Amino acid sequence: MSTALLFPGQGSQTADMRQAVERHAPDLLELVLEQVGADPFELADEGTAYAQPAIVCASLAMWEGAGRPDAAFFAGHSLGELSALAAAGALSPSDAVRLAVVRGSLMQEAGGRAPGGMMALLGDGHEARAAVAAAGDVSIANDNGPTQLVVAGPSAALDHTAAEAKARGVRTMRLAVSGAFHSPAIRPAVAPYRKALERVEIHAPGLPVFSSSTASPFGARGAAIRDQLAVALVRPVRWRETMIALQELGAERFREVGPGKALTGMVKRALEGVDAAVLDQVTHA
């Protein structure tokens, strides 16, 4: 049975992340404290600059704690692409953490320059998309499944979209993020992030690693991977399509590696009859 390992993105932080890193990846703990200049685990709910490096550290620590389990495919939700590439051997875990520090800081800064936010539309996917089209001035940021679409944009535009969604029977929920991520508002972060990526050694992964912004495997060369990671900051996360593509290529078992369990629920809603669960660090089931 072919397994796909899935690594979560921002919003998956949990209270026990630091413990996992202390136990399974103390070298990454030392590195992230040095790079951030503060404890990102204590401040993960305070901003993207802290949440992103904390989540990547925790994801890689949990992967280490599970004994680096075998898989046929890897995929990461947005930020989780760094963890997935590290697990597949395309870059070192330490470089993944360094990039997460830069990425989180740049995205927080860009979000502050263009105030806005993100909102989940929960319910019928067709009606949710119709609400977005009718409202305007927002971007689809995440297509997480048939019943969850996330949009990003200015606060006034999100209010308008919420009203349209309510009229169509679609529930909405504002997300606790500091900017309109995966939208044109984050464009100022792309060029400096690309420069940070150029300073890191990236190899072709030994096994397919799916980009959630293209719903297809990353390119086979470091330059192509760098480009995909940079432009992903302003592209929507196509998670539903990524899950479908993995299943079509033969993935029969999906295991979430990292804090939280959001991706497991997304897989179950997107695919019928799949074996999806959070990775058990003892049994590797």
In the predicted model, is pLDDT for residue 66 greater than 70?
Answer: yes
- pLDDT bin (cut points 50, 70, 90) of residue 170 is very high
Confidence at residue 137, expressed as pLDDT on a 0 to 100 scale: 87
Active-site hit among 24, 59, 77, 78: 78
Residues of the chain with CATH 3.30.70.250: 117-174
Q: Which long-range contacts (CB under 8 A, 24 or more apart) does 261-268 make?
A: 262/8, 262/11, 262/12, 263/6, 263/8, 263/12, 263/77, 266/144, 266/145, 266/148, 266/239, 266/240, 267/6, 267/243
- For 85-136, the pLDDT digits (tens) are 999 999 999 999 999 999 999 999 999 888 899 999 998 888 888 888 888 7
Tell me the whole-structure pTM to 2 decimals.
0.95
Q: What is the CATH number of domain 2-113+183-278?
A: 3.40.366.10
Q: Is 160 a catalytic residue?
A: no
Within the chain, all domains assigned CATH 3.40.366.10 are found at 2-113+183-278
**Per annotation, catalytic residue among 83, 182, 183, 212:** 182
What's residue 114's pLDDT?
84
- Contact criterion met (CB below 8 Å) for 225 and 90: yes
And the tokens for 128? 């949710």
* Residue among 143, 136, 140, 176 nearest 160 (CA): 136
Interval 164-193 mean pLDDT: 93
**What is the fold, at CATH topology level, of the domain defined by 117-174?**
Alpha-Beta Plaits (3.30.70)
- Residue-wise pLDDT for 136-155, tens only, equals 789 999 999 999 999 999 99
Using a 10 angstrom Cβ sphere, with 0-12 exposed, 13-18 middle and 19 or more buried, the burial of residue 113 is exposed
User: 24 catalytic, yes or no?
Assistant: no
